[in-house]
Amino acid sequence: MALDKRDFDAVVIGSGPNGLAAAILMQQNGKRVLLIEGKDEIGGGLRTAELTLPGFKHDICSAIHPLAAASPFFKTLPLADHGLSYIYPEIDAAHPLEHAKPALLCRSIDVTAQHLGDDANIYRKLLRSVTKNWPLIDADVLGPLHFPKHPLALASFGLDALKPATLLAKQFKTKQAKALIAGMAAHAMQPVTNMATSAIALVLMATGHLHGWPIPKGGSNSIAKALASYFESIGGKIQTGTYIKSLNQLPSAHAVLFDVTPKQLLEIAGHKFSAIYKWQLERYRYGMGVYKIDWALSEQVPFQSDACRKAGTVHLGNTLNEIRDAEQQTWNGKHPDKPYVLLAQQSLYDDTRAPQGKHTAWAYCHVPNDSTKNMTDVIEKQVERYAPGFKDAILAKHTMDTIQIEEYNPNYIGGDINGGVIDLGQLFTRPALRYSPYKTSEKGMYICSSSTPPGGGVHGMCGYYAAKKALKDIFDISVGLSSNN
């Protein structure tokens, strides 16, 4: 498609949640913004399609959205007016265990604690503290390293958040509580023995208690469509089907924001960067990939546990030790026989996802970066472990290995859906050690993808902070988080 060559104040490349957030903030502040998407449909990881059979709608990448519901920026936008509707499962997440009751994450801290036996009081104390402080520190945790507005509240959170998840779990006695922490921490896609893996566990549990783990009605693309609709309603322009490979393709603009990872940024604009900045980007580290399966089912997943049959998300990994070992093996380049599997059951609560009486299921496990090993049988055995008869319910399936995932979305390098490793070495300095991680060495060029703080997840905060920096640098406009942005 021929590119719109009119002059713009800002051009944003990539229409994932961060690109959309960056474009919206720039447009809200009176700038003429063009958002460019390489695919024919906007959304990045926020896309939904009939991957298996007609009438079965599958989320291609992201599926359940606690961080979207909790996003400090998205909460300022009138997305419900633009068609976004969230559905809240009865149980946010379940973690089945062999020969034992499952651990559950419910909206209520007390209800969650009741399922943790002797650890109930410890869990209540920990999560009440985190949820009490979260409204004061959410923008700080989901943002770049800076002096916080509420340093004591952030310090209180940080005491536990910086621990390895295995260390945080040591304060609990029951296998349920330990498994719950491990399953949440494994979302970080790194060994749960790593420093700061407790942070993702605490964030996911706290946002669950405060905002739930909602399902967007109609599919994850509903989030992208609502963001795009709002952006266009305030005057923004979107051009799809235009893959940017060179700066020469772009129209004139004062600021260019890239919703891409360092690898693509170097390919597009590397010749413009300083030697030291380019050197840092070249050494940026990508992490584990994922192998993903979508199923069309004749019935819902027949979990043995009634609670698992009601959960929007199910973590299949059994005990803390089993999850620890599986994630470590994957990190070391191996394929575990019993991988940690994330499974979502959107059709339990959203009847638009499948024909009447039928269901969908969405799942992935972690694999080494660039792995091409077929993990279908291994994943299905993990599901069968807790849901005997599951394979008999399969009508059709669609699989994606890491190479296919990267082909679908070039930001998923080697299947890494987090935009790079989010370990302590890259938590706040991604993608490079600079005063501002969003500002490149070239004036007017910014990176706004999940390769910047706070990292992966559908929250838009990488895009928000990058646009905030560009507005200040280029247009001398200072912005903050408010409904009037």
Are 427 and 393 in the same domain? no
- Alpha-carbon span 174 to 483, nearest angstrom: 43
In this structure, is residue 252 part of a structural domain? yes
Give the per-residue pLDDT at 188: 96
Tally the domains of the chain.
2
| 272 & 295 share domain | no
Q: Which residues constitute the domain of residue 426?
A: 8-46+58-84+216-285+412-475
Q: What values do phi and psi take at 62, rounded to 5?
A: -70, 150
Among 408, 424, 442, the domain-final residue is 408
Which residue is it, tokens 């575990």?
A: 336
State residue 485's pLDDT score. Answer: 41
Per-residue HEC secondary structure of the chain comes to CCCCCCCEEEEEECCCHHHHHHHHHHHHCCCCEEEECCCCCCCCCCCEECCCCCCCCEECCCCCCHHHHHCCCHHHCCHHHHCCCEECCCEEEEEEECCEEEEEECCCHHHHHHCCHHHHHHHHHHHHHHHHHHHHHHHHHCCCCCCCCCHHHHHHHHHHHCCCHHHHHCCCCCHHHHHHHHHHHHHHCCCCCCCCHHHHHHHHHHHHHHHCCCEECCCCHHHHHHHHHHHHHCCCEEECCCCCCCHHHCCCEEEEEECCCHHHHHHHHHHHCCHHHHHHHHCCCCCCEEEEEEEEECCCCCCCCCCHHHEEEEEECCCHHHHHHHHHHHHCCCCCCCCCEEEECHHHCCCCCCCCCCEEEEEEEEECCCCCCCCHHHHHHHHHHHCCCHHHHEEEEEEECHHHHHHHCCCCHHHCCCCCCCCCCCCCCCCCCCCCCCECCCCCEEECCCCCCCCCCCCCHHHHHHHHHHHHHHHCCCCCCCCCC
The encoded tokens of residue 149 equal 């507005």
Are 119 and 145 contained in the same domain?
yes
272 and 204 in one domain? no
Structure confidence at residue 457 (pLDDT): 94
**CB within 8 Å of 143: residues ≥ 6 apart:** 453, 454, 461, 465
| 315 and 195 belong to one structural domain | yes
User: What six digits make up the tokens of 85?
Assistant: 């509707």
Domain of 64, CATH number, reads 3.50.50.60
Question: In this structure, are 302 and 362 located in the same domain?
Answer: yes
Q: What is the pLDDT along the chain (485 residues), one digit of tens a residue?
A: 666 767 899 999 999 999 999 999 999 999 999 999 999 999 999 999 999 999 999 999 999 999 999 999 999 999 999 999 999 999 999 999 999 999 999 999 999 999 999 999 999 999 999 999 999 999 888 888 888 888 999 999 999 999 999 999 999 999 999 999 999 999 999 999 999 999 999 999 999 999 999 999 999 999 999 999 999 999 999 999 999 999 999 999 999 999 999 999 999 999 999 999 999 999 999 999 999 999 999 999 999 999 999 999 999 999 999 999 999 999 999 999 999 999 999 999 999 999 999 999 999 999 999 999 999 999 999 999 999 999 999 999 999 999 999 999 999 999 999 999 999 888 777 999 999 999 999 999 999 999 999 999 999 999 999 999 999 999 999 998 864 44
Name the domain boundary from 359, 377, 408: 408
Helix axes 262-269, 275-282, angle to 10 degrees: 140
Are 418 and 398 within one domain? no
User: Is there a single domain that holds both residue 99 and residue 169?
Assistant: yes
**Residue 446 within a domain:** yes
Regarding whether 143 and 63 lie in a shared domain, the answer is no
Final residue of a structural domain among 350, 383, 408: 408
Whether 166 is covered by a domain: the verdict is: yes
Bridge pairing between strands 48-49 and 311-316:
unpaired
Q: Is residue 436 part of a domain?
A: yes
Question: Is there a single domain that holds both residue 163 and residue 238?
Answer: no
- Alpha-carbon distance of 144 to 69, in angstroms, equals 20
Whether 390 and 468 share a structural domain: no
Q: Is residue 53 part of a domain?
A: no
- Per the CB < 8 A criterion, the answer to whether 312 and 344 are in contact is yes
Q: 381 and 250 share a domain? A: no
Assign residue 136 the CATH number of its domain: 3.90.660
User: Which residues have CB under 8 Å from 110's CB, separation 6+?
Assistant: 124
| CA-wise closest residue to 102 among 299, 311, 336 | 311
